[in-house]
Amino acid sequence: MNSAQSLIGYVTDDFARQMGQIPAVGIELSLEPGNDVILRIRHSQIEEARVGPSSGGYTAVQLILRPNATYELYAMVSTADESRAPIFDPAFWYRLLWMRRLAFTGPPIFRPDASGKFQAVRP
């Protein structure tokens, strides 16, 4: 049995509430609530989105990816902050993503339809 790859991140509570109501072509997840490390993925690469708990204005979201899915991972860094610099170490990103492999259980679960809109799935 092949296991699906999943990614976990955070969206604003407002975005989570509107997931099944607005069309979209992609989703951006912060790897930590309000963090500047962002994962961007197109709806066509997502098999399922599971919404988790909310805290501090951010909602946890687990994305179950389609086979061979691709996504972008980037860090927003201000040139005014000399203590931070872009991270170009692939091993760092690999470890960061694999440490976040958790399972979400229970509703709500969404799947993107042909128009790019998330539709709630009934268990």
For residue 1, being part of any structural domain is answered with: no
For residue 106, being part of any structural domain is answered with: yes
Q: Does the bond joining 108 to the residue before it have cis omega, within 30 degrees of 0?
A: yes
Mean pLDDT calculated for residue range 91-119 = 64
How many domains does the chain fold into? 1
Q: Distance (Å, rounded) from C-alpha 48 to C-alpha 118?
A: 9
**Res 8: pLDDT:** 87
Predicted TM-score of the model (pTM): 0.65
For residue 13, being part of any structural domain is answered with: yes
Write out pLDDT tens, residues 46-55: 888 888 888 8
For residue 84, being part of any structural domain is answered with: yes
Q: Distance (Å, rounded) from C-alpha 15 to C-alpha 69?
A: 23
Write out pLDDT tens, residues 57-88: 999 998 888 888 888 887 766 666 555 555 55
Write out the residue range of the structural domain in which residue 30 sits.
6-121
Are residues 92 and 85 in contact, defined by beta-carbon separation less than 8 angstroms? no
